[in-house]
Structure 1
């Protein structure tokens, strides 16, 4: 790793990847400097993660071009995949900044010109974007919606749309009212933001024959070895992805063969009547959480939610800012459930309980059996984030009404595409009303190119998980044996292991995520700076990825995090596919660097 440019500050991880999910922050100092906004780090950032915090440069470039044409120098813009999403951002803006007039914040819908005007052929990918334009001085308001919702456009979509926009082929809807055609499975025909009828080898029809087919080096690397884009496959790629999420497709085969295989009954989630029809795709994992909360409010009314366990930062912000608020149990303990039960017995009503299984970064597992019993007794929904556990290791669907996940993580593994999912439990008490509301509210905004990449990346999901489980346990054992390591957090060795094991599949492991704390900040810094892995935000990558997680996720609220047992100097490890012995050697060398 030492010679890998991904170890340079601000370099994308993986290197030479235009749409990389992670970014290199290789030292403790660089992580702190990033949070402090120091120029020597910020100026070198080629990408960033989460994308909701760091706006990808492709998106920035398109936004600037749109403002130049449709706005004013004093204005900014955020880009969304549909008018419905942009309208929700506009409504949020109006609530947060009611002093602004209707013309100060506005939506411009951009759609492609007719096929005849653009390419003259039947081959056409028809993207559209909706732009929220606002006074630049109110940037933080728009950024808050972008960050919390996860519903902004992807960087691949931005590249594609910039190409059309710069050629005059993406125009204001008011000047282009002709209806567009949509093909594909029925459930992806309504309210979709991208219509697919053809594409060839990653070269869009609007640029064929123009000399613009030459790819930059990063795109060449990204599409190498079977990853050339054929967007005519996008609808089928989405179907294959949904079948993998359902657990009914586990074979590592090409797309054509994948869609002809019989269901893998052994891996399918053990809930009668469940199928890929209960799986919904979203642009990001955060989007799946945001839209699940939004749809639950539409289905069940304006009620407070419950956040149980120490949450991912924006999950808490969502229920606080986009509804009547929440009841927060940061420890996720039995005592917290006792308190909740007393409140419920006293007549308090709640929309839903949101929890992670297991939690991040302490890897604690909530008591899902007791939560399910309370939900059935007192009529609230249960939303479980299974990103860290993943369905090959654990089956949480029987305890949930909705299961959400970030497909950006281990489902993809390659750290070069984003996505999220929400699945409904057909045996859940809330299913009928949720299914009806989801079908009315759902919009497929996962960009076609991203779907093609995600399908390709996820084909070897099963063997990757098995190897990652094994490697993570090996690293856990090394850390637990060292006298200068204070605490190792991993589901296998957690006091909440019984709750994890209740949901663990017969062949399931304990996942690829763990964290450790040390007896001093100096020990943590020495270990981290000498740890020869990729270092940056995100998790679930095919390579081992380490970060001082609390510094990155909670820098402005370190005391608050510490009050729930999440120590500032915690180091988190997302273990990858490397040779187990080499990984062990890598961690042992870093441990030897701790001053004795």
Structure 2
């Protein structure tokens, strides 16, 4: 079942969210930028690895408004997101460097704007800079998650080729001669590994408006009506509020007028959609700063890597508690008693990859007493299993994961607690600052994928308990990290729905790294980054997420050789057989 290195996960999926790294060695090769891995990469996790379609679009942009030999282009859906990247670059480029980044704007051409078909019109903003600063602009792409999606990139490429998207020269600013310099090896290799993507034959166009409508029809296909955008987003927001839980099609979903949400007063208007989960966290942090002033935040518990980076790199910084323990809360309480004040506390419920649950009730009490907001990332547990919103001001989630499940689209959400102490101020900030950058096609895929997410979660909960039980009972296994078996289980149970489970994610360690490698390489599942997929997916998570900071991760008791597994919808007995088989391979080595 070993899938080829660099193939899309799932296979044969143009907009796949994951990529095949099927062996321990290939994961290390990826992290080190080894050519034998990078030259075979057809895609990657979108915030870490720029999709080939977007790479081709960037090349096309540079050929029109830049210098492909000396410059790079990072692509964004709005002027605001482009300016974020430009400002980040300027803050880190040496003062004496004359090669300043500039923004090139592409807008619908007159024949598109006058066509009478306004359902799908996308602008495009390119931050053009010297190649020597690739590593800096890539940080914005990765941490903030504000770049264009691959579907939007594909649409813009075709629109650019067909003359429906053109440069607005009046909006292009600050062109300077770039400095010839190679970017960081890792990013440079990723770019050079892509082959040119054929955008398809160029059409012959005339100024007639009906041709743009035909262009939309050809690009989206008859079974993907662009007019569904608003309705699809509305249905997604309803599902997230918890008021729409059944498996129904879009028309039926929009007929429901129930207001029976996750907490009293919660409506779909309290849900804000973003292009991906990290972008929801980034914008939540910015909105809390806007609503409550500039103060440090708290990152509580060992976080998904980019959450900490956001808090450190945008704004006044943060206080980091990597263990997320009650002892950490004791220290925080002492600081608060001595007069320190904070903007907000960001935490995951449970954490990734150790699946530890924070003492959210105590955190909530401290927030009320000492005036700080609470932001909870519920991506791993999801609101079908737990109900954390009453104890948070904002709940964020990556819709890319189990909400979608199909691993073919990105999305994120932020939900405001209408009973929260800062609700009015936060609602005002979110509404004032909100940009709807979730691309129309992505929204439609999210809505369709999520229709059966409740039943999928219920099945995955049961299968994961079966698999973790097998691993827990094996003497070959050192530890299984899973909310049900965690020392922090009481904190999880305090928020678990009576019918909820423990989610589909767990991590496992062995008594030696060699055993971990054999287990991982032998286990017959798809392997690559991401989680919450409808198929079982594994990775040596710490290596992938923290390869250049393994001692730092280890200092918070995160083993460098753990194997993280996200359980899918396979037949439970068949999946159990595969895990027994991998354990048998470890046993044979030991024997």
Q: TM-score, normalised by structure 1?
A: 0.89
Q: By how many angstroms is 1:299 displaced?
A: 1.3
Q: Flag structure 1 segments of 5+ consecutive residues without an equivalent.
A: 178-203
Q: 1:108–1:131: 8 Å Cα contact kept in structure 2?
A: yes
Q: By how many angstroms is 1:228 displaced?
A: 3.0
Q: 1:124–1:206: 8 Å Cα contact kept in structure 2?
A: no
Partners of 2:415 and 2:98 in 1: CA distance: 37
Match of 1:536 among 528, 531, 537: 528
1:509 is aligned to 2:509? no
Match of 2:66 among 67, 71, 90: 71
Q: Deviations over 1:110-143 (max 9, x none)?
A: 11113x4578453651111111111111111111
Q: Which residue of 2 is the match for residue 362 of structure 1? A: 354
Q: Deviations over 1:92-126 (max 9, x none)?
A: 11111152678731111211113x45784536511
Q: Which residue of 2 is the match for residue 128 of structure 1? A: 123
1:96 is aligned to 2:96? no
Q: Flag structure 2 segments of 5+ consecutive residues without an equivalent.
A: 173-208
User: SS at the partner of 1:593?
Assistant: helix
Partners of 2:248 and 2:32 in 1: CA distance: 46
Partners of 2:512 and 2:258 in 1: CA distance: 51
Partners of 1:280 and 1:487 in 2: CA distance: 38
Q: 1:249–1:264: 8 Å Cα contact kept in structure 2?
A: no
Q: Structure 1's 325 and 207: CA in aligned 2 closer, same or farther, altered over 3 A?
A: same
Q: Which residue of 1 is the match for residue 585 of structure 2? A: 593
Q: 1:123–1:205: 8 Å Cα contact kept in structure 2?
A: no
User: SS at the partner of 1:554?
Assistant: helix
Partners of 1:121 and 1:55 in 2: CA distance: 33
Q: Which residue of 1 is the match for residue 78 of structure 2? A: 82
Partners of 2:476 and 2:115 in 1: CA distance: 68
Q: Structure 1's 488 and 381: CA in aligned 2 closer, same or farther, altered over 3 A?
A: same
Q: Which residue of 1 is the match for residue 364 of structure 2? A: 372
Q: By how many angstroms is 1:205 displaced?
A: 7.3
Q: 1:353–1:381: 8 Å Cα contact kept in structure 2?
A: yes
Partners of 1:492 and 1:62 in 2: CA distance: 46
Q: By how many angstroms is 1:173 displaced?
A: 3.1
Q: Structure 1's 361 and 159: CA in aligned 2 closer, same or farther, altered over 3 A?
A: same
1:8 is aligned to 2:4? yes
Aligned residues between the structures: 551
Match of 2:225 among 230, 238, 241: 230
Partners of 1:210 and 1:148 in 2: CA distance: 34
Q: Which residue of 2 is the match for residue 57 of structure 1? A: 52
1:32 is aligned to 2:24? no
Q: Structure 1's 296 and 582: CA in aligned 2 closer, same or farther, altered over 3 A?
A: same
What is the correspondence of 1:297-316 to structure 2 with a 5 Å cutoff? 297-316=289-308
Q: 2:117–2:212: 8 Å Cα contact kept in structure 1?
A: no
Partners of 1:113 and 1:92 in 2: CA distance: 30
Q: Which residue of 2 is the match for residue 162 of structure 1? A: 157
The CA RMSD measured in Å over matched residues stands at 2.0
Q: Which residue of 1 is the match for residue 545 of structure 2? A: 553
Q: Structure 1's 210 and 502: CA in aligned 2 closer, same or farther, altered over 3 A?
A: closer
Q: Which residue of 2 is the match for residue 419 of structure 1? A: 411
Q: Which residue of 2 is the match for residue 255 of structure 1? A: 250
Partners of 2:403 and 2:397 in 1: CA distance: 9
User: SS at the partner of 1:503?
Assistant: coil
Partners of 1:175 and 1:338 in 2: CA distance: 56
